[in-house]
Every structure is written in structure tokens, then in C-alpha cells.
């Protein structure tokens, strides 16, 4: 008996749970006769439902409408002579993304390959022109080179990589708009020519970049101990949240000019950007407030006991934890903002969906609704999914729920 106890305990391996995929099919789809029956019924139903769609997609769909209007859908009426600017920005984007990847993400070969394959797949699309193909491949090379650089530099490049994003965002506006150094070099492109996916992306990016800090300030304001600041924040949040975005956009488009002295006009696109930012900030404020409330009170106490000032406590202790908690909600809000940009069509701006409808309004394309809308939907889905994916990665990198 005593010997038995003294003997070293055998550590058992966990039971193996590996199947071949045939085994998986058998276990999950055909384990009993009624499960087999259900499997066949489901397959039959799926086939019946998808067949018309698939036949249309593979045999009848005519993508010529997208091909012909591709530039319009991407950049609206942006002057063809200036489209190189958009390419330039895409190249820079590839460089910044590549650099950030090399500095922060590293490893994850499969993911990196996926990211690299995306432009190549785009290049393979039948609607791409030869020069676009060349550009996409070259962009991939830029991204690889940048990530290589980021990898070599490692953590020492972190600050640089973060700043490169800030500089990039400023450059985007400058380059798209043009700064008219001389009439020939980088002439102004008036905003009524901006359109398509370009406008959608600009509205989204500007909306996110400005509504995020504003939302944080409002959330802090709502928790402030100063009654005036608290009142202003509460009123702002509740008023904006009680009004549909369309109303705010209309106000920005129709009402604002009334209040300005004659002769002064504010650009329409700028007004839409401000409207979207103000709208989104109210929602973000409430999301961030939720995160602030989730941080235990002991964190404030520990920070105070150490002698940290209120500002340092907020920026070093509370906000990093609060924002991490609300990453999924924030990203949800950003995705909603991205899709809400379609509403600017009501004030006469032609973003992606607006352009699509303008294209379909032409008599020769009336019968191509399915192709055009499917194309637009696919673009929205890809970008939304990308945002959602970034959010997941961010969560796992920051260890949400683990520490």
C-alpha cells in the first residue's frame, strides 16, 4: 500500500481528439439515420435556394457595367489626370501598413501571406487594367520592403511607425485636395468632384479620427465633478443621440449657411464630415463611459495613493483599461459609421452607393442593378470585415480578457 503511494504518479495525456475529415463528416453529419436524413434535406434545400443565384452569377451576370464605370465607382469625378495622387496614397498606405506589420505584428506568416495575396487577387480580377495590375503588384513589393525594414528596426521604430500614421492621415487630405503650390503642381481638386469609394473612405477616416477623441472628452465630461461641464456633455450626448443622422446632415447642409454671413461658405464635404463626426462622437462617448465604469474603483484609489495627479491617473491608468474593455463596441460603432456614410447621398454627395445609383440611372445600364449592387455590397462587406478583423487582432494583441 505504502509503495503504491510512493510510486510517482502517472501523468495521463489528455484524450486524443483528432479526426480525419472523413471521420469528422461521419461524426457530425451522419452519426444516426435521422441525422443523415437531416443532412440530405438541408443540402437539398441549400441547393434549391442557391441554384438560381449561382446560375445567374456564373452564366448570366454581365460585369461590363462595373468595368466601364469602375473609375467612377472608385473615385467619382476626380480628374483622370490627377488619379496618380490616389495611387501615390495607396503606395504610401502599403508602406505604412507594411512598416506597422513589421514593427508590431511580426511572425504570423499565414496572415502576412493573406495580406500580401489580397492585392494580387485584386490584380487578377478581370476588370483590372494592365497598369492597375502593375501598380498592385508593385504596391505589394513596397509593403514587403517596408515590413522588412520594420522587422529589422523592431521596437526602436515604434514611435516612428505611430507617427507615420499621423503624417499619413494629414497627407491624405493634403494630397487628395491638392495644395496648389503653382497652378500646374498639385492643383486644387474641388470637393464636388470627390466621389465613389474615395469619398466613402475619406468620410469614414475623418469621422473616426475626430470623433474618437471628442467621444473620450465627452465621456470624461459626463463623469466630471464640475456641474457645468457635466451638464454640457449630457445635453450634447442626449440631443445628438435623439436625432437621426439624416437630420444632422440636413441641418449641416441647409441650416448652417443661414447662420453664416453672406459670402462665407463652408465646403459641403467638410460639412458632411463635421456632421458625421459630431453624430458619432455622442455614441462613442456613451461606449467609452461604459468602459470607464467597468474599471474598478480600487484603480483610482491605488493611483491616488501613489500621488498620481488626476490627469496622469486618467491617461496612464484608467483610460488604457477602459478603452481596452470597449474595443469591440468601439469597432462596432466605427463599422456603423462606415456604413452610415451612405446617407450623405441625401445632401447630394455621391459616395460609393450614390455613384452606383447614378450609374444605374443611365438608360443603358438600367437592367444591371444586380451586378452593380452586388459589387457595392461586396466592397462594403470586405471593408467592414477587415475592420472587424483588425478589432479581433487588436484584442488578442492587447490581451483583452486575459489580464
Partner 1 sequence: MEETLEPNNLTPQSSSRDDQPIIVCRDVHKWYGNFQALQGVSMEVNKGEVIVIFGPSGSGKSTFIRTLNRLEEHQRGQIIVDGIELTHDVRNIEQVRMETGMVFQQFNLFPHLTVLQNITLAPLHVRKWPKDKAEEVATQLLVRVGIPEQADKYPGQLSGGQQQRVAIARALAMQPKIMLFDEPTSALDPEMIKEVLDVMIELAHTGMTMLVVTHEMGFARGVANRMFFFDQGQIVESGTPQQIFSNPQEDRTRLFLSQILTH
Binding site for partner 1 (CB under 8 A): 296, 298-299, 301-309, 312, 316-317, 320-321, 324, 399, 402-403
Residue 143, C-alpha cell as written in the block: 509593403
The CA distance from 266 to 256, in Å, is 9
Report which secondary-structure segment, H or E, holds 305.
Answer: helix 297-305
Q: Which is nearer to partner 1, 8 or 399 (CB)?
A: 399
Measured from the CB atom, the residue of 319 and 331 that comes closer to partner 1 is 319
8 Å CB contact between 106 and 151: yes
Instruction: Give the contacts of 336 (CB within 8 A, at least 6 positions apart).
Output: 283
Q: Measured from the CB of residue 397, what is the shortest distance to partner 1 in angstroms?
A: 13
Per the CB < 8 A criterion, the answer to whether 283 and 215 are in contact is yes
Are the beta carbons of 194 and 205 closer than 8 angstroms?
no
**Contacting residues for 281 by C-beta, under 8 A, at least 6 apart:** 210, 211, 214, 215, 218, 240
Minimum Å gap between C-beta 216 and partner 1 is 17
Task: State how far the Cα of 220 lies from the Cα of 313, in Å rounded to an integer.
Answer: 13
Q: Tell the smallest beta-carbon distance from residue 177 to partner 1 (Å).
A: 39
Of residues 8 and 307, the one with the C-beta less far from partner 1: 307
Nearer to partner 1, 142 or 323 (CB): 323
Q: Measured from the CB of residue 399, what is the shortest distance to partner 1 in angstroms?
A: 8
Cβ burial, residue 74 (10 Å; 0-12/13-18/19+) = middle
Q: Residue for cell digits 517596408?
A: 146
Number of Cβ within a 10 Å radius of residue 166: 10
Runs of H (alpha helix) within 7-56: 21-29, 33-55
Beta carbon of residue 308, minimum distance to partner 1 (angstroms, whole number): 6
Which of 139, 317 has the CB closer to partner 1? 317
We find the least distance from the C-beta atom of residue 304 to partner 1, in angstroms, to be 6
C-beta of 270: minimal distance to partner 1 in Å?
Answer: 37
**Runs of H (alpha helix) within 156-266:** 158-177, 196-222, 227-241, 245-250, 256-259
In angstroms, the CA 231 to CA 341 distance is 29
Nearer to partner 1 by C-beta: 17 or 402? Answer: 402
When the beta carbons of 246 and 400 are compared against partner 1, the nearer one is: 400
Which residue bears the cell 460585369?
63
d(CA 206, CA 214): 12
Return the residue matching grid coordinates 461521419.
26
Residue 397: other Cβ atoms inside 10 A = 10
Q: In the bound complex, what is the minimum distance in angstroms from residue 319's beta carbon to partner 1? A: 10
Nearer residue to partner 1 within complex by CB, 15 or 399: 399
Closest contact distance (angstroms) between CB of 224 and partner 1 is 16
Closer residue to partner 1 in complex, CB, 26/309: 309
CB of 226 to partner 1, least distance (A): 15
Nearest distance in Å: CB 108, partner 1: 22
- Percentage helix, strand, coil for the chain under 3-state DSSP, each rounded to 5: 80, 0, 20
Nearer to partner 1, 158 or 370 (CB): 158
Return the number of the residue (27 or 316) whose C-beta is nearest partner 1: 316
Q: What count of other Cβ atoms lies within 10 Å of the Cβ of residue 139?
A: 23
Report CA dihedral (387, 390, 394, 400) to the nearest 10 degrees: 60
Amino acid at each position: 500500500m505504502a509503495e503504491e503511494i510512493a510510486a510517482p504518479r502517472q501523468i495521463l495525456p489528455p484524450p486524443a481528439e483528432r479526426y480525419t475529415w472523413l471521420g469528422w463528416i461521419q461524426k457530425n453529419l451522419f452519426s444516426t439515420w435521422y441525422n443523415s436524413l437531416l443532412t440530405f434535406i438541408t443540402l437539398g434545400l441549400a441547393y434549391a435556394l442557391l441554384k438560381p443565384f449561382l446560375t445567374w452569377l456564373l452564366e448570366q451576370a454581365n460585369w461590363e457595367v462595373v468595368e466601364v464605370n469602375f473609375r467612377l465607382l472608385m473615385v467619382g469625378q476626380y480628374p483622370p489626370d490627377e488619379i496618380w495622387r490616389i495611387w501615390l496614397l495607396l503606395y504610401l498606405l502599403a508602406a505604412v501598413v507594411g512598416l506597422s506589420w513589421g514593427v508590431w505584428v511580426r511572425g504570423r506568416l499565414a496572415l502576412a501571406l493573406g495580406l500580401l495575396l489580397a492585392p494580387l487577387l485584386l490584380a487578377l480580377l478581370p476588370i483590372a487594367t494592365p497598369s492597375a495590375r502593375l501598380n498592385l503588384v508593385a504596391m505589394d513589393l513596397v509593403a514587403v520592403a517596408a515590413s522588412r525594414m520594420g522587422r529589422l528596426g523592431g521596437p526602436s521604430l515604434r514611435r516612428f511607425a505611430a507617427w507615420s500614421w499621423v503624417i499619413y492621415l494629414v497627407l491624405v487630405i493634403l494630397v487628395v485636395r491638392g495644395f496648389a503650390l503653382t497652378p500646374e503642381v498639385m492643383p486644387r481638386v474641388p470637393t464636388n468632384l470627390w466621389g465613389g469609394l474615395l469619398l466613402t473612405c475619406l468620410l469614414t477616416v475623418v469621422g473616426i479620427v475626430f470623433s474618437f477623441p471628442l467621444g473620450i472628452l465627452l465621456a470624461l465630461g459626463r463623469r466630471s465633478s464640475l456641474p457645468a461641464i457635466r451638464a454640457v456633455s449630457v445635453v450634447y450626448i442626449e440631443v445628438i443621440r435623439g436625432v437621426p443622422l439624416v437630420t444632422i446632415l440636413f441641418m449641416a447642409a441647409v441650416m448652417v449657411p443661414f447662420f453664416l454671413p453672406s459670402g462665407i461658405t463652408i465646403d459641403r464635404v467638410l460639412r458632411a464630415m463635421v456632421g458625421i463626426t459630431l453624430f458619432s462622437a455622442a455614441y462613442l462617448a456613451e461606449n467609452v463611459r461604459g468602459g470607464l465604469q467597468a474599471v474598478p474603483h480600487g484603480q483610482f484609489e491605488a493611483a491616488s495613493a501613489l500621488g498620481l495627479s488626476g490627469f496622469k491617473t486618467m491617461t496612464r491608468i484608467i483610460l488604457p483599461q477602459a478603452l481596452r474593455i470597449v474595443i469591440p463596441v468601439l469597432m462596432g460603432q466605427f463599422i456603423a459609421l462606415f456604413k452610415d456614410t451612405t446617407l450623405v447621398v441625401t445632401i447630394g454627395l455621391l459616395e460609393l452607393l450614390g455613384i452606383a445609383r447614378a450609374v444605374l440611372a443611365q438608360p443603358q445600364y438600367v437592367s444591371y442593378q444586380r451586378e452593380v449592387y452586388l459589387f457595392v455590397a461586396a466592397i462594403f462587406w470586405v471593408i467592414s470585415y477587415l475592420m472587424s478583423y483588425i478589432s479581433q487582432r487588436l484584442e488578442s494583441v492587447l490581451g483583452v480578457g486575459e489580464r
